[in-house]
Amino acid sequence: MESQKVACFSETPLKSLHGLIDPGIWRQNHFRAYGVAFTRSRMLYYGATPVWYINQYRGSGFRWLVHDVNNLIDASALENGKPAPEKWIRSSIARLTPFMESIGQWGTKSKDFAFEREWRFKGQFTFGWTDVAAVIVPPGKAEGVKQSLKEALRYPAYVDTWEFRELAEPDATE
């Protein structure tokens, strides 16, 4: 539903950024090793919020919280057993669910984000060039990307205010 669209961000340690571009066994999309970084204070200013991870790992006597969330969704999205989009859009749970993500194991598949802390912004995220704190690039590409951005931007002086960080190769000991 439209009310659940978000822009996703990562608060990942620089040494773990490679985990975002490695598709692994659970990621459907393969990402390139380029990124734009913002400060935490700027993200808070715009209204982004950390994702709330809901545990779905099996355990002894554990009652999955996702069932409670699903019950709240059903109570807010259904009327007489039928979908009620207008009721859902006005509900408090509809404001919260864009910021929730389940982690756990389902059969042979598992999903966990221990290497990152995801942040989300509800809706379309728009930013200005002065909001950019850093640019993440593949190893050996910083100078070339910096020059390309200076040539492409209307106000190339912004590029000199940004930090350029080259993505580290994965550490074989991780």
pLDDT at 174: 46
Query: pLDDT, tens digit, for every residue of 23-39?
Result: 565 566 677 788 899 99
Name the DSSP letter for residue 169. P
Q: By three-state DSSP, how is residue 72 classified?
A: helix
Can you give the pLDDT at residue 99? 93
Q: What pLDDT, in 10s, does the model give residues 140-169?
A: 999 999 999 999 998 899 999 999 988 876
**pLDDT tens figures, 4-18:** 899 999 887 777 777
Spatial distance between the Cα atoms of 9 and 25, rounded to a whole number of angstroms: 21
Q: Identify the band that residue 171 occupies on the pLDDT scale cut at 50, 70 and 90.
A: low
Mean pLDDT of the region 33-49: 92
- What mean pLDDT, rounded, does the chain reach? 85
Continuous segment of H or E residues that includes residue 164:
strand 163-166
Give yes or no for a contact between 129 and 98, defined as CB atoms under 8 angstroms apart.
no
Q: Per-residue pLDDT averaged across 100-129, rounded?
A: 85
113 with 142: CB under 8 angstroms? no
pTM recorded for the entire structure: 0.74
pLDDT of residue 170: 59
Would the pLDDT of 50 be above 90?
Answer: yes
Look at residue 23 in the predicted model and tell me its pLDDT: 57
